[in-house]
Structure 1
């Protein structure tokens, strides 16, 4: 008779032809064994870490961008707390190209009536924008308002869109167009003689508010900003193509240069180094604000979990490796995670059993999203099952989210490692069905301050943060003990969304390049 060993509760459960243990019983046993740990991972502890990150941002111009003193202070804080808790802490240094404002941008309507807009809320400098101070007439380029559904209007995607464009004017362009990157619109404007470029969001349901935009390297010769749809709609002054009748002033002071930054790694002294559980969250903020939800929330949660694990003197079967990644928010996303995975030997990659990612856990209009594992390496659906089963056991709904490559799990996924995690939603709009199932406001963003300067300490739901951190604590403790490769408990069939109600998985955020 063959036997099979399950490491779920720390006890060996023998399953053979004479013994049968229902999966539901095994999972219930697992939940019972994480109760004390979950209770010790407190909201107060998480908020303490977020407050420290907010203070760091306040002391550094309201930002914690990779490659700047605000990020370095954030990394120092995390590293010192993890070291004090008894972890083996190391820095993973790498270089990247940072493009950001040297001084704050300025933008306003000069005539016929003065209108001033607020940087970080109404508009932001595009990454790799040129520097300059330009006052010139504003010219609309092939706009479509109201917009078609995605992929959106082709404003500025073709050279002929600029027919009749007066050299020296500032181009007003609408975001969107199939396969049309911001850089393409910008270059077409330059070829037409534009002295500056303004790109505004499309106005379709998930593209109304201000979002980050990157022109891609190298740095351009004239200033460029991106605005929300309402600002762009105001600027066009009722015009779809041609002179808007407005004169505007656009000032940008931007640099793009190579900078050093670091991932912070803290791992348990104990645990089998041939069985590593990676727990990740990015620590850097966008250039528009302090990033207290994105991703001060995930960073604070995994730090609180790490400290609690150490304080309770837990003895893991597997080695736990907590990583706070840098440069997730810089143009090409997840640079820190890319660097980390690229630096691993094949043996080191093979030692990683799975990666759990926690990116945004405190969205004010939150949904309990679980990465559903569809299309991901074998074992990813089993990770999702742990989260969805946990939420169900607490009487809480969850919803599936696709592993669409827009966070630090992506390079692990690309290297055939099981990945999973939870998040609370970011730039998308909450549906009517989600408002019924999760509460909150339908038709409003999960986080109205996503990538904006208002993403501060107050921009977190205590309820969502508490519930999602409990789920994270449950999963991390469970996987610290389980031989996941030998027995992942269950790997649901392909195509399963793991979610009550049958809703389709949602995609992540928009690309900041298009």
Structure 2
């Protein structure tokens, strides 16, 4: 799951140039539209933890053979894609690589040097300008109110010509930066309020002309402690340059199903450079792969099912955004997609059973939710209710590959077992595990390996994905009015072509926490 902006190799998406090749999976024409009914409950039993685990083991082996990771633009990602392709081809699919080209920030400098003292790692905030070569050198200034959100927070502290050091909290990073610059600061460092590096965003270009960076809580407090003991000098050096890179998604779709009503499912295949990425997102990729393998054994179903393994998600949802942006330029192509289901992290060790809150019954969404999304969510929650499995809403926040679909009016939902959020007492009562720690304590680390995946979570989520796939492969009438076999009529009020809540591609694409 995307949740940070930079890595050792590269950072945020800067500009996106969609690949010129066809974006669709195998040509969607003349599919068999036979009316044999695929039974969702029976199909759910065919997608087993054992089957998913075989794929996870192979993804772990791939990471082990390729510098310990499967990140975008690496040999580990290429090997992961080849494994998915070979497995699909053996099952009878034709696979398609969907290339995309994008601009990438490559980090040249990311440090804060304390004199006297040492050098600390920082992360340049998204939309913050580069420092000059060699950095900005100035004395440190710490506000009376550590968060530094308002002019009053600085009191009588001398800020002109200083590098401001403030705590995360109370207001957006952009407000802290604008306040510091207005007070005369020549740089700003925001330290985290939890034990990890702070990866942040100013939200838009041009807000300030001073370098702005995030840093970890312990390092930030060490700098603050040094300032309280006397005047210290800081050098803030944060610089990047842009490079054009190319990666790809892997697509496949069933040979059976009506071509004008496509059910699409996706999971990102890449991980972060820090580790193997077996929960994030080998888990979603492996479940999706096993569902595809088992679905290929079904001779007939009513709707086409299209599968996508997205590339460069961890660099900013790049592959899925490129795909949807390209389809948006082709009249009618997005309207063929009845709904999209996303599976990103479905094996977290301290898991919850989370369903994207498309009906906004718990969390307001940051975009207008397309009509049909609540009905897509209901397929998943209905399955869980039917088997007596507790579940909770999880934010429809745009932190994964459904983002481009919903901003372009395609209904969506999906499943999630948790990332860096802290498990509550109520969640522990429902699902077991440990309250007070993260759903995935090894999120985006070298320890996100096979031992980091919960068999119990996979055993709950894999059948749910299978059930939803089979159910929607037969009938999407609740979502878009397209009825399944043996039902009168084919189109209802929500027939393809009548999207609601459409937004221009690229809107609402900020992923990072802004405060």
User: Given the two structures, how large is their TM-score scaled by the length of structure 2?
Assistant: 0.71
- Partner of 2:431 in structure 1? 438
User: Is 1:343 the counterpart of 2:326 in the alignment?
Assistant: yes
How far 1:446 moved relative to its partner?
A: 1.3
Deviation digits for residues 280-336 of structure 1 (CA, Å, limit 9, x no counterpart): 1122223443322222211121112112222x2442321111011222222xx3222
- Partner of 1:200 in structure 2? 191
Distance 1:160 1:323, change over 3 A: same
Q: For structure 1, which runs of at least 5 residues remain unmatched after alignment? A: 1-6, 12-29, 146-152, 490-508
Equivalenced residue count is 442
Which of 218, 225, 229 aligns to 1:237? It is 225
Distance in 2 (CA, whole Å) between partners of 1:254 and 1:70 is: 25
After TM superposition, list the pairs within 5 Å mapping 1:301-312 onto structure 2.
301-310=287-296, 312=297
Distance 1:357 1:254, change over 3 A: same
Deviation digits for residues 181-208 of structure 1 (CA, Å, limit 9, x no counterpart): 39947994997445xx6432234xxxx5
Deviation digits for residues 457-514 of structure 1 (CA, Å, limit 9, x no counterpart): 322222112211121111112111224333689xxxxxxxxxxxxxxxxxxx972455
Distance 1:432 1:468, change over 3 A: same
Asked whether the equivalents of residues 88 and 266 of structure 1 are also in contact (C-alpha less than 8 Å), the reply is yes
How far 1:98 moved relative to its partner?
A: 1.9
How far 1:36 moved relative to its partner?
A: 4.1
Distance in 1 (CA, whole Å) between partners of 2:44 and 2:261 is: 23
After TM superposition, list the pairs within 5 Å mapping 1:105-144 onto structure 2.
139=140, 141-142=142-143, 144=145
- Partner of 1:392 in structure 2? 385
Deviation digits for residues 365-417 of structure 1 (CA, Å, limit 9, x no counterpart): 11111123226222222222221121123222001123222221122222222
The alignment partner of 2:333 has SS state of: helix
- Partner of 1:257 in structure 2? 243
After TM superposition, list the pairs within 5 Å mapping 1:432-471 onto structure 2.
432-471=425-464
- Partner of 1:4 in structure 2? none
How far 1:434 moved relative to its partner?
A: 1.3
Which of 270, 279, 292 aligns to 2:256? It is 270
Distance in 2 (CA, whole Å) between partners of 1:218 and 1:257 is: 19
- Partner of 1:427 in structure 2? 420
User: Is 1:365 the counterpart of 2:360 in the alignment?
Assistant: no
Q: For structure 2, which runs of at least 5 residues remain unmatched after alignment? A: 1-32, 361-368, 485-509
Distance in 2 (CA, whole Å) between partners of 1:353 and 1:472 is: 16
How far 1:422 moved relative to its partner?
A: 1.0
Deviation digits for residues 230-257 of structure 1 (CA, Å, limit 9, x no counterpart): 4433443286xx6777788988895531
The alignment partner of 1:471 has SS state of: helix
How far 1:426 moved relative to its partner?
A: 1.6
Asked whether the equivalents of residues 212 and 451 of structure 1 are also in contact (C-alpha less than 8 Å), the reply is no
Which of 390, 397, 401 aligns to 1:404? It is 397
